[in-house]
Structure 1
Amino acid sequence: MMSINFMGSYSGIDQTMIDQLMAVEKRPLVQMSERKTTMESQKNAWNDVRTRLNNLFEKIKVLQNSDTFSSMKATGGESATITTSKNSPEGVYEISVQQLATKTSVIGGKIVEASGDSTKALGLTGKFSVNGTTEKPNEIEITEADTVRTVADKINSISKESGVRASIIDNRLVLNNVDTGNKAITLKNEVGTVLDNLGLGTDAGLSNKAEVILGQNAKFKVNGVEVERQSNTVKDVVEFTTINLNKAHAAGGFDTITISKDTSKVEEAVKGFVDQYNSTMTFISDQLKAGSPDDGGEKRGTLASDGSLMRLQSSLRTMVTSSLSNENTAIKDLSQLGVSTVDRFGQLTFDDSKLKEKLEENPVEVQNFFLSKNSEGKDIGFVPKINSYIDSFSSSTGIIKGKTDSFERSIKEVNKQVDAFTLRMERKEQYYISMFSKLDTAMMEAESQMGWLTSQISALSASSGSKK
């Protein structure tokens, strides 16, 4: 049976008043929640700092790779282009393309048995070989159920061994060498004359004989030297360099291609570091803002007054401007490579012309500034220095890990306190409800008794009056 709660009917203390009373009781809960929110924000801010520091090192570690400093580039060229490697020799190359390499093709004649349907069974039997040898016979057997489609599939199934691919064009079988160059396609009937029926026979008397188009080698000149190769991608003419032939020149035409050092990778790496450094320092400054009502309402930073973050900010600023003691290079600081500070907050600017100048003068000096080994075989230079400091903050045993672990422990403790406090508040609210409900019941009973007593007194008074 459902009970009816008349709490507040007599005392005037209802659920609304209890809620107001509990709101006062729960003020410590609000404070604990605010403290938890603050710690979570601080933990997340430190995780953001770690991410930015790791990104900063990712930008600069490109300069640890020797390939970054030894890259070569090729400029110019259209009908012919060059793909360089780090060992490509510098120089100017005039390349004239007389003809491109092409593939040998066998264009089959019309297949009468197919009647224009590549999926119709041909009713043919026999066996033939494609570029067969003693070691690799490359034989294909044809049965009555085979169609033009399945014949093409059978040829393609051994293309790795034969070097020939088949396609169907206008209900004809068309065979092409996989590779370019003056290479024949040898087709031979092994059992029967099935090649003739498939339009791949070459005898003069056949009405549907195949047309053979022999592939040709590429012919070109490099600085006046005549070269012939089977491919349009040539790797053995200029050492450590690939020449790509794209189209034939008009008579007397040529492309001039220059191979030179490629400094763009170094420039991009330094610029990437500067941009990430500026972004990281701006983020740290925002987290450290003191904030006050007198500064136009500037928001206080999440990690304001945090000594560890202030030390990180100061050390990073010092590291990118201080001189290095490096026995392997005359370059002692980043300013000699065009990187310098522009304001008191440590923001950097990058003048790539200074870096290009140093790279042209002595690229080894630049490389050694970023990374080299001392007489004891230890890595020295700007990159190891930055990495060592960043690692002291962002590694699994670094300062940031200690910070975030501490926040996590404190958050767990606050959660326990919140749970315990919430339970006490629930019990207290039930206590208030029970107490004031009992008060209402007592007041209701008292009112009932008062009514009975009043009625008894009235009855006595009436009786006394009638006797008179």
Structure 2
Amino acid sequence: MDLGVSGLASGFDWKTLVDQLIDVERVPQKRLLAEQNQLEQRNNAFGSIKTELTILKSRVEALQEGSLFDSRAATTSDSSVATVGAASGAPLGTFSFDIEQLATAARQVGSSDIGKRLSETSDVSGVVLGTAGLGRTIVGGVITINGAQVTIDATDTLQEVFDNISAATAGVVTGSYDPTTDKVQLTSSTGTLTLGAANDTSNFLLAAGLHNNGSGTVESATSLSRVRPTAALASANFSTTVTDGGSGTGAFKINGVEITFNASTDTLNSVIDKINASSAGVSARYDVQADQLILTNKTTGDVGIALEDVTGNFLAATGVTTGTLERGSNLLYRINGGDVQQSLSNTITESSSGLAGLSVTALAEGVVNVTVSQDSSKVKTAITNFIEAFNKVQTLIENQTASSTDAKGKVTAGLLSGESLASDIASELRSASFASVSGLPAQLDHLADIGIVTDGNSNKLTLDDESLLDEALATNLSGVKALFASSASGLANQLDDYLEEVVGEEGSLVAKQLALTEQAAEIDTQVADLERHVQSRREQLLASFLAMETAQAKINQQLQFLNQKFGGTAQSSSK
């Protein structure tokens, strides 16, 4: 028999009774947990106030910054000639900038026609169109010459094309290749040569650079051979084969920055990508029409580009080192008609102009007037941000400390009702905000002098007369600065000192939250102690009832024995 089953022998559900007794034992714990919940809610409420006070402190600190009141606004008489920016403290006034020359970037223009010629001689019977190294991939189809259609295939040799043109035009049009100029020439023996038709399907004429010119002779517009920028460097049709020294780790330097390549795996495009991604300070591009590589400084000014092949011949093979340096130019300008000054960049900064905090970016040649004035808009924004943050704090404290009454007249106190710290913060902020600043003229020593007052029913601030603030900012910005940030007596300084006493590391609000946290933790200890007592009591009750169940089971066994012995006359005392 499982005597752990409640009432199995006695018929009495004693486990339910034990649970009920234990619930009664836990009443003190429930009271403590309810108290702890209140502590945590109050702590959270103070935490919300602390968050808003911290924001308010940052807005107050912004009003202490002297640079705020030295903010500048800059305008230009012609934004197509120059744009302008002015940092805090830039000199006030109007300055004339005469932009005589813009700065440009230097370029290293590599030699053109770096691709291997179609043929070293005029014999092009071995020059297959598809592999000849033309600047465009040949598309098979038909072209039209003097009204006659000629079939083109990428597997044709250039000589076969000439022969087919001659056959289609009955010998009137002949073609030839000049190895000196690397150009194709078509000649008509009967007058004007007419190339192409709307229904042509091959691009041979375009790939060969052959265009109508109104005469009987048409020659390729440019040399025909091109390097293949997507092929491995060693087989990319360079006139001078690119080598990497045989080790697979070729290298060259641009402005002292080393760039490596592998002639068997790198392509011209991949090396260009490496150059552009490096810190060499240049951008590289391949001009397919001129068949040349061009390096351009990423910065303007009359500065050169240093080049060196370290291992292999990449720079020499691509024609860069044998090319021409096109010098960049410096910006030339005058200020207020003075001497010509120079700048590597098109942006004129303090270092070149001597005008602290003023930055002028030239966009075109011409004369432009730059006007620098005080920027009071930033000060006004800082003041309105301060009012907003101040009122958020006051609203939050008001909501947390106020009591409410429902329709039945039941009064519910706010979470922080009766908390003197919260109400003290609200009143201290109000008092500090409306204190007069000592040492200032009476006409501007109080927030009311710039139109900021209380709303009369709370501790909040109101910008009651915005015109007063605008006038003070426009005519007496230094006075507004003194009101907020004059040494230790300025309103912002006084408020910041007080807020540090409240939300600083050793502030009163921090201490309050710490005390509430400790009280809540102490309740955890008390609840744990009570729970140990409850569990001990439960074990005692369970043991007692289990002993009763065991005794009852023995009595039942004895009664059963007697009933069997004497014919069922004995009865259990539990019935």
Q: Which category of TM-score, normalised to the shorter sequence, fits these structures?
A: 0.7 to 0.9
Number of the residue aligned with 1:325 = 438
Whether 1:335 and 2:448 are equivalent positions in the alignment is: yes
Number of the residue aligned with 1:103 = 105
Number of the residue aligned with 1:49 = 49
Number of the residue aligned with 1:7 = 6
Whether 1:383 and 2:492 are equivalent positions in the alignment is: yes
Alignment of 1:70-219 (within 5 A): 70-76=70-76, 77-79=78-80, 80-93=82-95, 100-108=102-110, 109-112=112-115, 115-117=228-230, 119-121=232-234, 122-123=242-243, 148=268, 166-168=284-286, 170=288, 172-183=292-303, 197-200=317-320, 210=323, 213-218=326-331
- Residue 21 of structure 1 and its aligned partner are, at CA, apart by 2.5
CA contact (8 A) 1:326 1:381 kept: no
* SS of residue matched to 2:73: strand
Whether 1:423 and 2:543 are equivalent positions in the alignment is: no
Number of the residue aligned with 2:58 = 58
- Residue 260 of structure 1 and its aligned partner are, at CA, apart by 0.9
Distance 1:343 1:175, change over 3 A: same
* SS of residue matched to 1:302: coil
CA contact (8 A) 2:3 2:549 kept: no
The one-letter code matched in structure 2 to 1:32 is L
The one-letter code matched in structure 2 to 1:61 is E
- Tell me, in whole angstroms, the C-alpha distance in 1 between the residues paired with 2:546 and 2:262: 99
Residue-by-residue CA offset, 1:389-447 (whole Å, 9 max, x unaligned): 22222223332233223223322321111111111111222222222222233333333
Residue-by-residue CA offset, 1:54-82 (whole Å, 9 max, x unaligned): 22111011122211111111135532111
Q: More helix per residue: 1 or 2?
A: 1
Unaligned runs of 5+ in 1: 132-137, 203-209, 374-378, 462-468
Alignment of 1:195-344 (within 5 A): 197-200=317-320, 210=323, 213-218=326-331, 229=342, 230-235=344-349, 236-237=352-353, 239-240=355-356, 241-246=358-363, 248=364, 257-293=370-406, 300-327=413-440, 330-344=443-457
- Tell me, in whole angstroms, the C-alpha distance in 2 between the residues paired with 1:407 and 1:27: 23
The one-letter code matched in structure 1 to 2:387 is V
Number of the residue aligned with 1:355 = 469
The one-letter code matched in structure 2 to 1:272 is N
CA contact (8 A) 2:257 2:279 kept: no
- Tell me, in whole angstroms, the C-alpha distance in 2 between the residues paired with 1:187 and 1:50: 62
CA contact (8 A) 1:329 1:369 kept: no
Distance 1:60 1:188, change over 3 A: closer
Distance 1:188 1:85, change over 3 A: same
- Tell me, in whole angstroms, the C-alpha distance in 2 between the residues paired with 1:102 and 1:367: 44
The one-letter code matched in structure 1 to 2:525 is K
Number of the residue aligned with 2:177 = none
- Tell me, in whole angstroms, the C-alpha distance in 1 between the residues paired with 2:472 and 2:441: 15
Distance 1:198 1:303, change over 3 A: same
Distance 1:12 1:396, change over 3 A: same
* SS of residue matched to 1:380: coil
CA contact (8 A) 2:40 2:520 kept: yes
- Residue 284 of structure 1 and its aligned partner are, at CA, apart by 0.7
Number of the residue aligned with 2:30 = 30
Q: TM-score, normalised on structure 1? A: 0.78
* SS of residue matched to 2:444: coil
Residue-by-residue CA offset, 1:324-371 (whole Å, 9 max, x unaligned): 323577522111122211241222122543223112222222211112
CA contact (8 A) 1:329 1:365 kept: no
Q: Name the larger-Rg structure.
A: 2
* SS of residue matched to 2:74: strand
- Aligned partner (choices 544, 547, 552) of residue 443 of structure 1: 552
Distance 1:414 1:128, change over 3 A: closer
CA contact (8 A) 1:328 1:368 kept: no
Cα RMSD of the aligned pairs, angstroms, is: 4.1
- Tell me, in whole angstroms, the C-alpha distance in 1 between the residues paired with 2:446 and 2:320: 74
- Tell me, in whole angstroms, the C-alpha distance in 2 between the residues paired with 1:13 and 1:460: 28
Distance 1:187 1:111, change over 3 A: same
- Residue 211 of structure 1 and its aligned partner are, at CA, apart by 6.2
CA contact (8 A) 2:107 2:328 kept: yes
- Tell me, in whole angstroms, the C-alpha distance in 2 between the residues paired with 1:186 and 1:460: 125
Distance 1:11 1:258, change over 3 A: same
The one-letter code matched in structure 2 to 1:314 is S
- Residue 281 of structure 1 and its aligned partner are, at CA, apart by 0.6
Q: Which moved more, 1:389-398 or 1:296-305?
A: 296-305
Residue-by-residue CA offset, 1:22-48 (whole Å, 9 max, x unaligned): 222211111111111111222222233
* SS of residue matched to 1:112: coil
* SS of residue matched to 2:233: coil
CA contact (8 A) 1:123 1:143 kept: no
Distance 1:420 1:103, change over 3 A: same
Unaligned runs of 5+ in 2: 117-226, 235-241, 571-575
Q: How many residues are treated as equivalent by the alignment?
A: 436
The one-letter code matched in structure 2 to 1:5 is G
CA contact (8 A) 1:68 1:265 kept: yes
- Tell me, in whole angstroms, the C-alpha distance in 2 between the residues paired with 1:141 and 1:88: 43
- Tell me, in whole angstroms, the C-alpha distance in 1 between the residues paired with 2:253 and 2:276: 13
- Tell me, in whole angstroms, the C-alpha distance in 2 between the residues paired with 1:142 and 1:455: 108
Residue-by-residue CA offset, 1:222-275 (whole Å, 9 max, x unaligned): 6677956443111244722221123x37xxx76554321011221121111111
CA contact (8 A) 1:328 1:372 kept: no
* SS of residue matched to 1:415: helix
CA contact (8 A) 1:129 1:190 kept: yes
Using the aligned pairs only, state the percent identity: 26
* SS of residue matched to 1:389: helix
Q: TM-score, normalised on structure 2? A: 0.65
CA contact (8 A) 2:251 2:309 kept: yes
- Tell me, in whole angstroms, the C-alpha distance in 2 between the residues paired with 1:339 and 1:450: 96
- Tell me, in whole angstroms, the C-alpha distance in 1 between the residues paired with 2:297 and 2:569: 131
* SS of residue matched to 1:369: helix
